[in-house]
Amino acid sequence: MNWMSLDIFSDLDIVLGSQSPRRKKLLESTHISFRVWVIPVNENFPPNLPPVEIAEYLSKQKAAVFKENIPERTIVITADTIVVKDKNILNKASDESQAFEMLRLLSGTTHEVITGVCLTSKNRQTCFHEITRVTFKELADDEINYYIQNFKPFDKAGAYGIQEWIGAVAVTRVEGSYDNVVGLPVARLIEELKIFIRKDFFSI
């Protein structure tokens, strides 16, 4: 069997356990057939975990709510993306003031974007993470305010979406996967899915 072929996904039920339109669009770009299945989950995490463990912990939490209901030959993909600046976790902003403070903190500096991903079937689970370093130019207050008022990035970790206006005018360097910053490290995900399928469904 050609493991590079997308045919290996054709007789499996691939599920994206996320309501994120960005993750849905990224997965659609692979031309793999999948469906979206969303179950709400509490996104709290233990405060003392290292950042990479937080991202994986949250992706596991999102997978746990599916575990008892996963049919045979189904793989559920869950993910969570966090932004880390000087070991501080920047979650989603609750209002304009908090979004402004986050973007002011990121202005003129480099931060990390970490996405934790879990692949879960009826009998198996594997988790991994991807790290991308993103550098912002110095942002003027009116630039920050313009972005917040026009794009309202309150559903995004770190209060920004790299695929939006701010990515075009403020991001000067991306070290690692761009897709990871959007919300899903697609290239890594495909490779991990192939390994997962070999081990879980073909015992290779």
Tokens representing 51? 């950042």
* 122 within 8 A of 70, measured Cβ to Cβ: yes
Active-site residue, selected from the candidate residues 11, 80, 179, 200: 80
Spatial distance between the Cα atoms of 123 and 78, rounded to a whole number of angstroms = 16
Q: Which single residue is written with the structure tokens 């045979």?
A: 72
What is the dihedral sign for C-alpha 68, 69, 74, 78? negative
Angle at CA 189, nearest 5°, toward 158 and 67? 90
Whether 86 is catalytic is no
| Three-state secondary structure string covering 73-100 | CEEEEEEEEEEEECCEEECECCCHHHHH
- Active-site positions read 80
